[in-house]
Each structure stands twice: as C-alpha cells, then as structure tokens.
Structure 1
Amino acid sequence: MAHRPRKLTAKSPKPNQPYADATQDIPPKPPDNKQRGGWLSSTLAIAILFSSAGLVIVFTWISIVLIWNPEQAGWVNKFLPAWAQIPLDNNEPPQTLPQIQNQLSQQKRIAGETLALDEGDNSFLLPVFQQRPNCQSNCREIAELRIYQRSQDSKLRSQPEKYYRLATQFPVTGLEEFLEDSTAERQDANAPLSLSEVKRFEKDAPSPGVWFYLRGQRQQGTNANAYGYIVYYNPVRTNLQQMLTWKSPSGQIPKWQEVTGGGAKELVIDQTVGLEPQLQVYQVKSVKLYLNPIQLEAIDLKPPAFKNPAYQNALLIARNGLWTPAFEWLQFIQKQHKKTLPATAKAQIDVIRLHSQLTKTQAAKIWASPSQQVLAELIDGRWGKALKVFEASPQNVQEIATLLKADKGRLWNRTVAALQVNPDRPEVQAWGALIFAVQQGEGRANSWLKTQPKISKATLTYIQGLLKRLNADAV
C-alpha cells in the first residue's frame, strides 16, 4: 500500500506559552497601591503606639503627684470642665499651729494635743474633737485625726514660726456595737460608742511607722470596760490605716510584747473576764497593697496548724480553757517533732503558753474563798486538788455547789473536752457528775455516769458517795 505524503502545517503555540518577543513591548508594572497603603498604616500605628505610651506615662505621673503632693496637681483643673474637676481637699495654704487651732475653733471643733511623728518636729498627728449633743458629762469625742507636715516652701521655711501643710484627714466614727457586753442594756443603745482618747504606743511597737490606739470607756457594774481602734501611720505613704477594733472588759490597754520569739513583737489584747484568761494575739504581716502594705493577723487556735492527732487533741482542750494541760502535752510533742513543726504551729503553742502562765499563777495563789480556790484549780486543770478542797468541809460543799450551779458552760466544757481526749480520768468524771447533779439532779448525774465508756466500779461508788454528800450538805 502506497503511502501518501503528509502535508506540513505550521504548529500553533500553546495557550500558556507566549511568543519569545511578546514581552518586549509591555511597559513595566506600576507600584501596587496596597504596598503604599501598608507603609502608611504601619507608620500611623507606630505613631499611635508612641502617643498612647506617652499618655499612659503622663497619666501615671499625674496619679503619683496626686498621691504624694496634691498641691502640685492643681494646674490639671485648668484644662478640665467643671464636672470633671479633681477634688483637692488637702489643698489648703500652710498654717502655723495657732492658726490651725483657731480655724478649728471657728468650725466649733477642738484641737487636741499634738503627737509627734518624728524627732525633728516636722510632722505630727492632731486629734480633732467635737462635743456630743445632749450630753451631761464626758461629752468630748474624737471626730477625726489629721496628719500635718512641715511646709517645704522656702519662703515659709525662713519664717520664725513653723508652717504646716495638711497631709491626711482620717474621719473617726464611734463603734457601732456594744463591744463590752453584747447582752448589756444601756439607755443610748442606738448611739455609737464614742472615743475620747488617742495615744501613741511609745514602747516596743514595731517599726517603721507609728502605732496609735484610740480608746473609749464605759462603766458596766464594777468594771470599767475599755474599747477602741488600733491605727497605723505609714510615713512612706503618709496615710493612716485602721487596723482593728479592740475591747477589754477589765479596762486593759493593748500592748506590744514578744510572744513567738525571734525579736518580733506581737500585739496582745487582754479580754480576760474574772479568772478566765482570754488573750488575743496579733502578728504584723506584709500584704501586697500599695496604700496599706501591712495588716494585723490573729494567731488562731483553729484549725490546728500541724496534722498530728496528739497535737489536734492538745489544741482541742486548749480551746476549751485547759491551757496548762494542753501546753504540757504540746511541749512533749514539740520535742518529738522539732524539725517538722511549722512556724504557725509554734505560734499556736506560744499563745497557749501565754495563757498557761496566767492560769498557773492564779492556781498557785492561796484564795480566802473555797469556791474561788476550786475555780482557779479547775481552770488550770488541777482536778484532783480541786476535789480535796470540795471534800475538806461541809461549808466548802455548799459554797462550791453554788459555784457549779452558776456555771454557764465554761467548767462543763472543760470536763467534756478532757474526757474526750482521755475518758479514763476518775477525777474528771467526778467533776462532770457534780456539775450534772447540781444543775439537773442526782438521777441525771447517775445516768450520765453509766454512759461513760471507762469507769470502774470503785470509781462509780466513790463518785456516788460525793453526790450523796452534795445532796446532804448543799442548800
């Protein structure tokens, strides 16, 4: 078969393949508008960023000036509308002390004695008093505390008189609660308890700074109950801080003393009632707050700071008033766990020791009254010695029965706590039965005795003999 010759045709280029000389006549592509806009956006963003940072710096500086020296920030108000004016209450012209006193007198207030805040007489605290309305006696009460600082104005510094600038005003209000005795009635029960005295802690107070106590007093029967505030002056921040309220049924002023060791002083508030010691102990602790960088933290016995059954039982009886037995137990525990006992647990032990010192001293005294002797012995956990006083004479039985009948739970709680940690205590069981018999009858006391998990027949017979004697001798 003969082959036909093929007809040759020109091959067309592929669609995506340009001719070799096709690009020679195309002009270069102009710059993209998006790139130009990106440069403008970046430049604008950088400018805004720097201006924002500048505003932040300016406002931060103004804030610092307002805190440290508000007088210098008065110019800001020139640029603010009336509704946005910054109040500058302390922006008063510097005055001499007589001028300050005269100004307060015109305001129907009374300037108290100044309390120096430094040795150079460059600053002082001034209590401001006012008269209580409708008052017959002791009518002066503290209305506010003021801090004055020596003016730094060079013209005023050259004057013979000292000029002072008002740095801080701290309003003082009376206590809203009747702290001395919540059950007591008083004629002006709706009126806050006024404060009439402010004093500086001159001895043992921690530094830096200055500590003050504000005090009021109210007579309650034979007791002069005291109450008030603890206030701290921070010389760096130039402010006054109310730390806590306090009360003392015996009229004792709070004091600083070393309780936990290490050289640091704690604030001790004595709330003892009669022979029942009650001490509140506070430690100074740092906190991350600019204006108030410290606080007073109570050393509380609950919860126990050491996870150990014996330690927890010791704190249980301490919380129920058996301070000396608890401390003696804790001393043994402390020797066993000397390396693992946390600082908070050691602080709890120190507070218990402080109470134990008081109850030991009371129990060691010779009391004229058998009931007072028994009370002191029982508070210190001397159950056996207290029983000997009870058994000494029929007269003792009568007087002690009256004491037990008047118990509001303090002695009973001690009995229950002691038996909870150690039920095999015949002398404690005896006092529990005596309290039960005086308050609820001999039958109930015998029923209670039979519920005790560890009581021998000999102990039961002995205690029942005490109960019969109680009924025979007590009135």
Structure 2
Amino acid sequence: MDKHSRKLKPKAARTHQSHADARKRIAKKSEKQSRWRSWLLSTLAWSILLGSSGVIIAFGWISILFIMNPEQVSWLNEYLPEEAKIPVSKKDIPKTLAEIELSLKKQNRIVGESLALDAAVNQKNNQKSQKPNLFLLPIFQKRNNCQSDCQELVELRVYQRSKEMEFQLQSETHYHLVTQLAISGLTKSFVEAPVGKNILESENQDKNSKLPFTQITAFNDSQLSPGFWFYLKGEHKQEDTAIVYGQIIHYNPLLRSLQQMLSWKNTNGQLPKWQQVTGSNTKELLIDQTLDVEPYFQVYQVKEGKLVKNSVLLEPITLKSVFEDFGYQKSLLLARNGLWTPAHAWLTSLQKQRKQPFSDAVKAQIDFIHLHSQFTKIQADKNWASPSQQVLTDLIDGRWEQALQVLTTSTNNGQEISNLLKSDRGRLWNRSTVALRLNPARRAALAWAYLILTVQRGEERANSWLQGQPNISDDTILYLQDLLAKLNGKVTSDHQSQIIGRLQKITGAMQFSGMTPTGERSLNSKSPPLDYQRRGYNHY
C-alpha cells in the first residue's frame, strides 16, 4: 500500500502543474484581449472627437462664407430643400464662355471678340493658347431696316476668371461678371454740329435720334496708365461729308469699373491716339479735327480724380488765362484767333526773359500752341500749285507779306484769290484784325483786312472801315488801291481818284471797329498799350 501510494504522488504534481499552466495561458489571453479592447475604445474615442471637430470647423467655415460671400457656398443648394436654398443671383454665379454666349443669344444679343485685359497675356500679344484671367466682352445687337454695319454696340462687360475652388477644379474655365456698362450711341445733332461749336453730348436734348457705335478698339500702348483704354467708333454721312464719331472708354482695375470719358468726332477720318505733346511723363490723348489746312487739335491730359480715390479723368488743355501778364494775355489772344506761330514765338521769347519758369499749366499751353504752329508752318512751307492755296496757308500762318507777294506776282490769278477772300467766314478776317490790334503799323495785315472787307461788303463799307484806322496816309491809300486793282485784274485812274475822294485823312490815332465782314463784332476794340512796340513785339 505504501509503495502504491508513493507511486501516485508524481502524477498529482503533474496535474497541478498543468492546471497552473492553463490558468496562466488564460490569464495572458485575457490580458491581451483587454489591451486590444482598450486600444479599440481609445481609437474610436479619438476618431469621434477628431471627426466632430472637423465637422464643427467645416460648419463654422461654411457659416462664415455664407455671411461674407453666399455664392461661394451655392453648391449646397443641390442638397437643400427648396425652402432652404441659399438666395444667390444667377448673374453672380460663374459661367463658362459657352454659357455666357448661350445666355446672350436668348436675349437676341451677339457676342463680339473679347479683348484681353490680363497684363501677362497682353505682353505676349494675346496668344490664343492662353486663357485670359480678365477680359472685356463687347455685346452687339442687330439693327432694324439696316443695309450696312447692322450690328450696333449695346453693352460692355468685364469678366474675370473664377478663383473659387469649386470651379477651378472643373475642366472648363468659369468666369464671373466684374462690371458692365450700357452703350447707347451719340445724338445726331452732336455729331452733325460744326467742329469747334460748343455742343456737349451730356447737355444735348435730342435724345431720341441716336447714332450707334459699330466698333470697339483697344489702345495698344504699354505706356498708358493707369488701367485700360478703348475707343468706340461709328460712321455717319451728312450730305457729301463723311463723319467719324465715337467715345473714349476707360476700365479702372482698382475701382473695377467701366467709365465713358468723353465723346469725339471729326470729318478727316483721323482716329484718337496717344501722343507725347507736353513734357509730362505720360502721353496725352490727341483728337485731330483738322479741316483741310486749318488745324484743330484737342489734347487731354490724364489727371487723378479729386472726388473718388484712385479715379482718373481727362482734362483738356485750353487757352484760358492762368495769370495776369500783358505778353501772356496777348499771346493767348493770337492763339485763340488762329495765329499759332506768332503766339508760340511770343511765348517762347517771354519764357526766356522770365527769371522764374512758367507753371506746368502754362507750359502745357505753350506745347499745345506749338502743336498747332508746327502744322501751319508745314502747310505754309509747301509749294502749292494754286496761288489761292498758297495765299491761304500764308495767311493762316500769319505771313502777311509773303501772301501779298503771291498776289502781286501772280498774273491772271486775281479772281481766284478774290474768290478765296469772298468765301472766308471769319478765320482770315479775325487773324488780320487781331494782328492790327497788336500792331497797327503792320501795313500788310491792314491790306488783307481791307481786301477781305471790300470783296465781301463792297468798297464803300471798306472805305468807311478804313477811316477808323490810325495814321492812314496818302501813301497807304495808294498802296491799298493798287492791291485792290491787282485783285480785280485792272488799274484805272478813275478808280484811283474815286477811292481817294471817298477817304478823309485822319490825323489822330483811332481804333479799328473790330467788326467782322458780315457786320458782327468779334473782337474787343480797345487799343493795345503803348509799351507794346517798346517791348519789341512789332512783327506780328
């Protein structure tokens, strides 16, 4: 028995050991499961926390966008019920070019060729492979009962490439509307008014008769600033005269606005251009309204607007007086009456004599006068085949003696020159009488004034006017009689005695009447100061 019991003890020990190992294995397994469960719970908790934070941030950002810029969250309308949709104007939603064209087509509008406003694209000559970030889109519509140029410009729009992530990720480029400007044309009365007549388009009452614009062109000049400049153009025929008219348009990228700057017209077909007229850093806008050999330029300087920050305006250079000075005032008087070359010579002389330089405004006036003077000089320097044309260009430039030389040396051309004087509507008369006002001793200017008055109003009226001129001597009377005879193509002794008999010699200095040949007073008849000739201005 004892031997048998001793044999059972190792087996019991092994049984106890196996149970202990099993418990250890179970404990280890339970510990691993507990750790895994704990990790899962922690991960789930963090995921829920981070997900909730992301949702909160997303909703917060969407709320900010909804307040600041509702159209940026307009995509939510696809998931919202009808009563909860975000109110966004359709025109504020970015569109593709195809969508823009389709929308305009439904309104019977025609899309014109777009003009790139993006600086990078412009520098590369508007390469077609590059899509502009910013462009101007002209919009036309067809005119009724039209045979030519049947598309009229009715609107200008500026579009910019959308920067919203929703549209940038799409294959087609989307654009949103920046600004737009309605175009209505110019009134017929403004277009047909004579050049130089002060009719403002804004004050015109003839609003029903509008002449349309048919073209828009960009000024391709890299030196123009600020913004972008365009001109609109239309054509109109008045009897046998073809008139070109238009408007200047400016796009201000700082104000994101389109503005009509001014209206223009001419009969010589010249288009507006930017030219360096003055000594300023920027070019000036030049509108050429020259009629044949008579210069008429309008020059505008780009100035900063005073009422609105970052705005610009076009300020014309005028002949309004800026300060009180005898020489300066009389120079402006010469220029206002078309004697550009004498006016410029006088101002240049004054500028050299002054200790202090002229102001920028006066310097601009000098450059403006010089621009006209250059034109009249070029015309007068030409060798014209027609004597009357040579006389005309000489008189316009203030070359009184040269014009008389043409008259006295031209044989059988008196009638042609007489017809020229007879057709004058004041431009030659005003020049000659202004020259007499500033220098009464200028006998050549006196002669042309007398001849103009004679052919237009008759010898009796001319002789009456001549009596009012200072220091008319017998030699002057004979001189004028000889010129009149050459103009008429004959010389008779009866005519000589007739003109002398009709004149009374004036011993005192008298003022000229300052009347136009048609009897209208055009000039102030005050005599110039006596120091005029003392200062050496006796050659005008």
Q: Into which bin does the TM-score normalised by the smaller protein fall?
A: 0.7 to 0.9
CA shift, 1:224, in A, is 3.1
Quick one: distance in 2 between partners of 1:252 and 1:466? 39
How do 1:17-416 residues align onto structure 2 when only pairs under 5 Å count? 71=71, 91-118=91-118, 119-120=120-121, 121-182=132-193, 191-203=209-221, 206-220=224-238, 223-290=241-308, 293-302=311-320, 304-337=321-354, 339-416=356-433
CA shift, 1:155, in A, is 2.2
User: Residue 463 and residue 441 in structure 1: after superposition, are their counterparts in 2 closer, same or farther (change >3 A)?
Assistant: same
User: Residue 285 and residue 445 in structure 1: after superposition, are their counterparts in 2 closer, same or farther (change >3 A)?
Assistant: same
Report the 3-state secondary structure (helix = DSSP H, G, I; strand = E; otherwise coil) of the residue aligned with 1:242.
Answer: strand
Q: Deviations over 1:36-63 (max 9, x none)?
A: xxxxxxxxxxxxxxxxxxxxxxxxxx9x
User: Residue 204 and residue 361 in structure 1: after superposition, are their counterparts in 2 closer, same or farther (change >3 A)?
Assistant: farther
Q: Which residue number in structure 2 is paired with residue 430 of structure 1?
A: 447
Extract unaligned runs of 5+ from structure 1. 1-61, 75-86
**1:306·1:341 contact (CA, 8 Å) conserved in 2?**
no
CA shift, 1:412, in A, is 0.6
CA shift, 1:206, in A, is 2.3
Is 1:457 aligned to 2:474, yes or no?
A: yes
User: Residue 472 and residue 372 in structure 1: after superposition, are their counterparts in 2 closer, same or farther (change >3 A)?
Assistant: closer
User: Residue 91 and residue 428 in structure 1: after superposition, are their counterparts in 2 closer, same or farther (change >3 A)?
Assistant: same
Quick one: distance in 1 between partners of 2:138 and 2:265? 21
CA shift, 1:177, in A, is 3.9
**1:284·1:296 contact (CA, 8 Å) conserved in 2?**
yes
Q: Runs in 1 of length 4+ with deviation above 4 angstroms?
A: 69-74, 87-90
**2:71·2:93 contact (CA, 8 Å) conserved in 1?**
no
**Greater Cα shift, 213-222 or 226-235:** 213-222
Quick one: distance in 1 between partners of 2:150 and 2:243? 18
Q: Deviations over 1:262-310 (max 9, x none)?
A: 32211111111111100011111112333771111111102x2231111
Report the 3-state secondary structure (helix = DSSP H, G, I; strand = E; otherwise coil) of the residue aligned with 1:368.
Answer: coil
Report the 3-state secondary structure (helix = DSSP H, G, I; strand = E; otherwise coil) of the residue aligned with 1:448.
Answer: helix
User: Residue 90 and residue 464 in structure 1: after superposition, are their counterparts in 2 closer, same or farther (change >3 A)?
Assistant: farther
CA shift, 1:332, in A, is 0.2
Q: Which residue number in structure 2 is paired with residue 16 of structure 1?
A: none
How do 1:6-21 residues align onto structure 2 when only pairs under 5 Å count? none
User: Residue 250 and residue 89 in structure 1: after superposition, are their counterparts in 2 closer, same or farther (change >3 A)?
Assistant: farther
User: Residue 142 and residue 451 in structure 1: after superposition, are their counterparts in 2 closer, same or farther (change >3 A)?
Assistant: same
Report the 3-state secondary structure (helix = DSSP H, G, I; strand = E; otherwise coil) of the residue aligned with 2:295.
Answer: coil
Extract unaligned runs of 5+ from structure 2. 1-64, 75-86, 122-131, 196-205, 492-540
From 459, 465, 472, give the equivalent of 1:448: 465
CA shift, 1:340, in A, is 4.2
Number of residue pairs matched by the alignment = 394
From 481, 484, 495, give the equivalent of 1:467: 484
Q: State the AA in 1 paired with 2:141.
A: Q
**2:156·2:180 contact (CA, 8 Å) conserved in 1?**
yes
Q: Which residue number in structure 1 is paired with residue 537 of structure 2?
A: none
Q: State the AA in 1 paired with 2:413.
A: N
Quick one: distance in 2 between partners of 1:371 and 1:70? 74
CA shift, 1:452, in A, is 1.0
**1:70·1:90 contact (CA, 8 Å) conserved in 2?**
no
User: Residue 71 and residue 399 in structure 1: after superposition, are their counterparts in 2 closer, same or farther (change >3 A)?
Assistant: farther
CA shift, 1:102, in A, is 2.0
Quick one: distance in 1 between partners of 2:99 and 2:91? 16
Quick one: distance in 2 between partners of 1:114 and 1:230? 17
From 415, 419, 428, give the equivalent of 2:436: 419
User: Residue 90 and residue 375 in structure 1: after superposition, are their counterparts in 2 closer, same or farther (change >3 A)?
Assistant: farther
User: Residue 256 and residue 174 in structure 1: after superposition, are their counterparts in 2 closer, same or farther (change >3 A)?
Assistant: same
Report the 3-state secondary structure (helix = DSSP H, G, I; strand = E; otherwise coil) of the residue aligned with 1:179.
Answer: helix
**2:414·2:489 contact (CA, 8 Å) conserved in 1?**
no
Quick one: distance in 2 between partners of 1:246 and 1:88? 40
**1:442·1:467 contact (CA, 8 Å) conserved in 2?**
no
Quick one: distance in 2 between partners of 1:158 and 1:352? 58
User: Residue 73 and residue 322 in structure 1: after superposition, are their counterparts in 2 closer, same or farther (change >3 A)?
Assistant: farther
TM-score (norm 1): 0.78
Quick one: distance in 1 between partners of 2:412 and 2:73? 80
State percent identity of aligned pairs.
Answer: 52
**1:415·1:431 contact (CA, 8 Å) conserved in 2?**
yes
User: Residue 338 and residue 283 in structure 1: after superposition, are their counterparts in 2 closer, same or farther (change >3 A)?
Assistant: farther
Q: Which residue number in structure 2 is paired with residue 26 of structure 1?
A: none
CA shift, 1:413, in A, is 0.8
